[in-house]
Amino acid sequence: MQLKTIVLAVGLMGATALTGCSTIGLSYSTASYNSVVDAGYVIPAVPRMKVPPQYLRQEVNYDGGEAAGTIIVDTKAKYLYYVLGGGKAMRYGIGVGKEGFEWAGTARVAMKREWPTWTPPREMIQRQPVLAKFRDGMDPGITNPLGARALYLFNKGGDTGYRLHGTPEWWSIGKAMSSGCIRLMNQDIIDLYNRAQVGAKVIVR
């Protein structure tokens, strides 16, 4: 058992080394994933014990050189970091794009929306014609694919089409299942939304 613990710790250290973040000295996550009522919508509780502990929201050490307020997405390790400053970052577990839908680069948060409307891209409707009924937008709600919050990513070419957004599908965190967007548990996207500013730099690796 002791050997397994050591191996797990080494694996976590290796996964975070790529982004200049370290799990050394972090506290166990005390983040709340209880059910909450937000803008009249009931967000279900997340069963913490069923989520791998590394994907729960927690503060970690950070020495990557990016300024406070920067968002770093590590698609391989399935982590999103919000740089706090003072050698710290808030780390969130994420779900990423499935094979063929991956992306990387630098963008900025151009807009933030609470309980956003979701409009499937034309290419998605072509792949899944059943989504045509939402071509003018799907109303906000707990089943909306963007969840409780969305941060819209733009670059020099304009709207990238990619979002940082919420999802009620907590079981998808740590996996590659989306059409390219970065998903967080609804409780986590609300936390990130409250921290991140419009104009924030976003680095996706």
Enzyme catalytic residues: 165, 181
The string of DSSP codes covering the chain is -HHHHHHHHHHHHHHHHTTTEE-TTPPPP------EEETTEEEPPP-GGGS-GGGS-EEEEE-S-PPTT-EEEETTTTEEEEEEETTEEEEEE-BEEPTT----EEEEEEEEEES--B---HHHHHH-GGGGGGTT-BPPSTTSTTTTEEEEEEETTEEEEEEEEEES-GGGTTSEEESS-EEEEHHHHHHHHHH--TT-EEEE-
Q: For residue 90, what are the contacts with CB-CB under 8 A and spacing of at least 6?
A: 57, 58, 59, 60, 81, 82, 84, 191, 192, 195
Q: Could you tell me if 58 and 188 are in contact, meaning their C-beta atoms sit under 8 angstroms apart?
A: no
